[in-house]
Amino acid sequence: MKSIYIRPTNIIFGQKANYFIQEKSAKSLCGLENVGFLSLEILRRESDGNTVEEYSVLEIEKLDFKNEIEEDLKNITSKRKNIFNLDFTNPILMGVLNVTPDSFSDGGKYNTTYRALDHVGSMINYGAHIIDVGGESTRPGAKSVSELDEIKRVSETIQLIKNKFPNQIISLDTRKSTVMKHGIDIGVDILNDVSALDFDPQSYLVVKDSGKPIILNHSQGIPENMQNNPTYENVLLDIFDYFENKIKFLKNNGIKDEQIIIDPGIGFGKTLEHNLEIISKISLFHSLGYPIMVGPSRKSFIGKIMAEKDNPQRLGGTIASILYSYLQGIQLFRVHDIQETNEALKVYSQFLKQ
């Protein structure tokens, strides 16, 4: 467990960022020329409670604990590894395709191949870079399905997508090594595991042997019980420690840096307060040095904020969460509503570049 953590703050974009980076009063975020940060938040775990301090980039060299944060600072400022031809210069959108009867938002809507393929075409047309196919619901309270049933649900759809859209990047949302292997055999490009390879002890070997990128989604518990009073000492720092330990294990077992993407797991074993804390300070995870994905789309925390005004689409709350994450340098978003999200990000990014 670390005792000191750093989070880039006062993040700036466009020509302003480029100017201040050149002038050395800002540092590059993720190795980008047009995204930088002007200051660092220093978070410490201490026996009598956590402390938070903030320093400008110009003050970093004078800090007496500079050596303790040097590695994390290098991670924050280093260029991220490309995924296929996606280089994180601009936002990357992952479109959700649940071929399930019971997913929390769109269960049963796309569990026929015709409707699924039509929806994929729409998402690609509206700007989806990746299509994430899932055959098992991981909503709170959902029960696990058999490997055979999960394979049956996703197999034909994945093959049809590959046939009709041969250049489309496809990720497979699964916790099971057998399903992962089958997906890879039929052309899946990325693996997305809501358990961060914890559910199935054989799954990390599939990632190692295949060389495929893996999205490590943090969750506390499993879908059946993950919302039963989730607790943390400090949700941000506990998740950071979890990822640091998980990544160390994976690298020691043959998985490469360029395969790893992290997702703090909005809604997976978190209360409303946990989710708000994660999104409001998600830039902390840049100091792990890997691409970060966030998936707030239609999640229940939005409904809790809206209370009696809640609606199933939760589009406004989803977009607000995505834009706030983007403002902190997050570049990969898993969403249901591709058209609206793409439009919001394109317009918002133009304001930031002024």
332 burial via Cβ count (<10 Å: 0-12, 13-18, 19+)? buried
Instruction: Report the distance separating Cα 261 and Cα 215, nearest Å.
Output: 5
- Helix then strand then coil, % of the chain, to nearest 5: 40, 20, 40
Residue 115 token pair: 């409707």
Residue 77 token pair: 């400022």
Distance of CA 101 to the CA centre of its chain: 24
Give residue 123's region: left, alpha or beta (phi > 0; psi -120 to 50): alpha
Which amino acid, 111? N
User: Which domains can be identified in the chain, with CATH numbers?
Assistant: 4-64+73-77 (no CATH), 92-352 (3.20.20.20)
Encode pLDDT of 86-109 as tens digits. 888 899 999 999 988 744 444 445
DSSP 271-286: -HHHHHHHHHTGGGGG
Q: What is the mean pLDDT of the chain?
A: 93
Decide the pairing of beta strands 51-56 and 35-44.
antiparallel
352 burial via Cβ count (<10 Å: 0-12, 13-18, 19+)? middle
Instruction: Report the distance separating Cα 28 and Cα 8, nearest Å.
Output: 10
Task: Specify whether the CB–CB gap between 200 and 177 falls below 8 A.
Answer: yes
Encode pLDDT of 34-62 as tens digits. 999 999 999 999 877 789 999 999 999 99
Q: Specify the residue for token string 């938002």.
A: 105
Residue among 69, 70, 57, 61 at smallest CA distance from 23? 57
The dihedrals phi and psi of 269, each to the nearest 5 degrees, come to 75, 45
Encode pLDDT of 216-236 as tens digits. 999 997 777 768 889 999 999
Among 115, 334, 346, 353, the one annotated catalytic: 334
For the question of residue 143 being annotated catalytic, the response is no
Among 270, 298, 299, 314, the one annotated catalytic: 299
Q: Is the dihedral angle over the CA atoms 108, 112, 115, 116 positive or is it negative? A: positive
Residue 261 token pair: 């993407």
Give the pLDDT confidence score for residue 112 in this predicted structure. 62
Task: Specify whether the CB–CB gap between 93 and 335 falls below 8 A.
Answer: yes
Instruction: Report the distance separating Cα 25 and Cα 318, nearest Å.
Output: 33
Residue among 123, 122, 148 at smallest CA distance from 135? 148
> How many alpha carbons lie under 13 Å from residue 161 in its C-beta half-sphere?
34
Q: For residue 110, is pLDDT > 70?
A: no
Give the pLDDT confidence score for residue 222 in this predicted structure. 78
Tally the residues of the chain: 354
For the question of residue 44 being annotated catalytic, the response is no
Encode pLDDT of 142-193 as tens digits. 778 899 999 999 999 999 999 999 999 999 999 999 999 999 999 999 999 9
Instruction: Report the distance separating Cα 266 and Cα 287, nearest Å.
Output: 19
Give the pLDDT confidence score for residue 226 in this predicted structure. 65
350 burial via Cβ count (<10 Å: 0-12, 13-18, 19+)? exposed
Q: pTM for the whole thing?
A: 0.94
